[in-house]
Amino acid sequence: MFNKILIANRGEIACRVIKTARRMGIATVAVYSDADRDALHVEMADEAVHIGPAAAAESYLVAEKIIAACKATGAQAVHPGYGFLSERASFCEALEKEGIVFIGPKPKAITAMGDKIESKKFANAAKVSTVPGYLGVIEDATHAERIAAEIGYPVMIKASAGGGGKGMRIAWSEAEVRDGFDRARSEARSSFGDERVFIEKYVVDPRHIEIQVLADAHGNVLYLGERECSIQRRNQKVAEEAPSPFLDEATRKAMGEQSVALAKAVDYQSAGTVEFIVDRDRNFYFLEMNTRLQVEHPVTELVTGIDLVEQMIRVAAGEKLPFAQSDIKLNGWAIESRLYAEDPYRNFLPSIGRLTRYRPPSEGTSGNAIVRNDTGVFEGAEISMYYDPMIAKLCTWAPTRLEAIEAMGQALDGFVVDGIEHNVPFLAALMKHPRWREGRLSTGFIAEEYSEGFAPMAPDAGQQAVLAAVALSAALIESNRRDRFDDRLRAHSGALRETWTVKLGDDYVDIRLLDGLVTIPFDMDIAAGGKQFNVVTDWRPGDPVWRGKVGNATVTAQLRPILNGLRVDWQGLSVKAKVFTPQHAALDKLMPVKLPPDTSKLLLCPMPGLVVSIAVTEGQEVKAGETLAVVEAMKMENVLRAERDLTVGKINAKPGESLAVDAVIMEFD
């Protein structure tokens, strides 16, 4: 076994690998860029080596710097994590030359599977069922049209070197193939430095189901069940689970055995993932093989009890797998939610900044569930524009799918993140979504269910009663504490008022208290919305998280002070709550309503970013859909388009300027 390994990555995955290495008694070396001097993975590792500027191309992606760091520290092996150098055969070869072990597959397997066209050829040869398509060189748009007609519409044009959900487009007609082909090719060239594209059948409404494989250097290849990753936004995974609610034992076995056959065909060793799409009739088609640890590997670990990183390290050290296929049992259900620094209310635009508050739910057993949080950040850390915007991977395990979903809902409700925008409200709402709960999934789920984007939701009557009860309990606990300060003149007669009105957004909820006294911990019977229930909580003033019971429901909600009230976040809802006496409520109803300012004549910067270009001039007439400006943030160029026909007025921003969120880029007449 190795004495010391280097982790050529950053963020949550570097931390995750360090944890296992430490448990195995292996010393760890972290590498870090300028932007990561204070990062968690640096703090966690036994040693750390600085490898250059923030830009990944000048640090985490430079093989020579990683190798130099190994030599300087005496690290015997490198775990690459995912992304960065994890799927570069040339990196493994360079390590091999230096006598350093790559904790992953051999270069030959990486090369064979790293290219989508080549890997489909291998898959065909290994009798793996693949998406019908054409794997030759496509000469021009006319040739592409002919192929598409043969395959039958719709088709997908894909970059052979693509990855991370990028470099693919769907075509439903000849015109779209013609238009799409040239653009796909130039996009592939600029994004991946490789203009080869291919065409395959676009499977309508499929599920994404992938098989985890694990292989050693002695010819043993196993499959560790599947993960379903159909909850995707723009072909990128958002939530995953193991097992899949869709597979039966026979399909699981068939997919598993084909995956093993493919792995054997390329002499695979280490952990790898064979991705499939599955149609409504459970026909499955090979998509690609990822020759690395997959982002969503924790759900497999939770249902199999196998630490994949440990097995990768052992296999790399030459050990045999300690189990056989018949030992692999899937136990219970696991869900993963990817927490991203992005604003769900603004079409998931990236958000950067400092985590002024970061309090994940506690890990470990909670009731019959397990909570696991793989993270690479901490309170006070900064989410920078340089790297992947993932904050954490929150996983829950429970005996059944619905229990795991419930546990995830509670864990998300208690996950406190302030300082940046994040997708916790979206994930929390997803956990309540009936179609998700029923497991009726497809890769189009988010596009179909949130076709207008994710908008703030309004609570239903039952949710209103819970929100009102939470807000009222907090207000009563706070006033109880104020009353107990020494020498304070009592603000009221001492008898607790029986009737209250909680304003939630623009609605008023009347509550009657059935007990006359506030106790700490809080325990009170109340009547609201025509029902009676008991409210219990040990919440204390200042706690951001309210935990307790409202009737039979276990409730975890977040409270943040606002002017004269609280903001309550729960189940993806975010509601302003104010506690009034009925008299105050009656007066409040008479208050004039303040209308939000009219921003329809302004182009606001949707996120902090750099103006790349301004596409219009003052006085220009623009049609709906035309580009107004391009703003870069988190290495993504965001094209801001006209939402309607308009005439450009004053332009306030210049290319090269850094703008804050909501800065006025231009005005319209």
Residues tagged active-site? 288
Residue number, 2 or 246, with CB nearest to ligand ADP? 246
With vertex at residue 310, the alpha carbon angle to CA 235 and CA 361, rounded to the nearest 5 degrees, is: 60
Residue 642 structure tokens? 């006209």
Residue 92 structure tokens? 């493994």
Instruction: Tell me the sheet residues that pair with 323.
Output: none
> Is 242 in contact with 308 (CB distance < 8 Å)?
no
Residues 265-324 touching Mg ion, rule: CB under 5 A, are 275
Residue number, 166 or 189, with CB nearest to Mg ion? 166
Smallest distance, Mg ion to C-beta of residue 460, A: 37
Residue 271 structure tokens? 């952990």
Q: Which does 305 bind (CB under 5 to 8 A by kind): Mg ion, ligand ADP, none?
A: none
Residue number, 103 or 573, with CB nearest to ligand ADP? 103
Asked if 295 touches ligand ADP (CB under 6 A), the answer is: yes
Q: What is the DSSP letter of 319?
A: P
Span near ligand ADP by CB under 6 A; candidates 194-202, 470-478, 623-631, 637-645: 194-202
Smallest distance, ligand ADP to C-beta of residue 208, A: 4
In this structure, the chain runs to a length of: 669
Q: Which does 202 bind (CB under 5 to 8 A by kind): Mg ion, ligand ADP, none?
A: ligand ADP
Asked if 163 touches ligand ADP (CB under 6 A), the answer is: yes
Identified binder of ligand ADP from the candidate list 16, 41, 169, 208, rule CB under 6 A: 208
Asked if 443 touches ligand ADP (CB under 6 A), the answer is: yes
- Sketch the per residue contact string, 19 through 58, with ligand ADP: x for CB under 6 A, - otherwise: ----------------------------------------
Residue number, 123 or 407, with CB nearest to Mg ion? 123
Residue number, 277 or 579, with CB nearest to Mg ion? 277
Residue 639 burial (CB count, 10 A): 12
Phi-psi region of 15 (alpha: psi -120 to 50; beta: other; left: phi over 0): alpha
Asked if 136 touches ligand ADP (CB under 6 A), the answer is: no
Asked if 206 touches ligand ADP (CB under 6 A), the answer is: yes
Buried b (16+ CB within 10 A) or exposed e, 491-520: eeeeebeeebbbbbbeebbebebeeeebee
Residue number, 41 or 237, with CB nearest to ligand ADP? 237
Q: Using alpha carbons, select from 57, 59, 56 the residue that is nearest to residue 48.
A: 59
Residue 430 structure tokens? 């997803």
Q: 637 vs 190, 607, 657, CA distance in Å?
A: 13, 11, 14
Asked if 202 touches ligand ADP (CB under 6 A), the answer is: yes
Instruction: Tell me the sheet residues that pair with 382.
Output: 354
Residue 42 structure tokens? 């640096």
Burial class (CB in 10 A: 0-12, 13-18, 19+), 521: exposed
Residue 487 host element (H or E): none
Asked if 385 touches ligand ADP (CB under 6 A), the answer is: no
Q: Which does 203 bind (CB under 5 to 8 A by kind): Mg ion, ligand ADP, none?
A: ligand ADP
Asked if 169 touches ligand ADP (CB under 6 A), the answer is: no
Smallest distance, Mg ion to C-beta of residue 296, A: 11
Burial class (CB in 10 A: 0-12, 13-18, 19+), 612: middle
Identified binder of ligand ADP from the candidate list 74, 136, 152, 164, rule CB under 6 A: 164
Identified binder of ligand ADP from the candidate list 12, 36, 228, 275, rule CB under 6 A: 275
Q: 2 vs 48, 147, 152, 316, 404, CA distance in Å?
A: 18, 51, 53, 9, 36
Give contact residues for ligand ADP (rule: CB under 6 A): 82-83, 131, 156, 162-165, 200-203, 206, 208, 232, 235-237, 275, 277, 287-288, 290, 294-296, 388, 443
Give contact residues for Mg ion (rule: CB under 5 A): 275
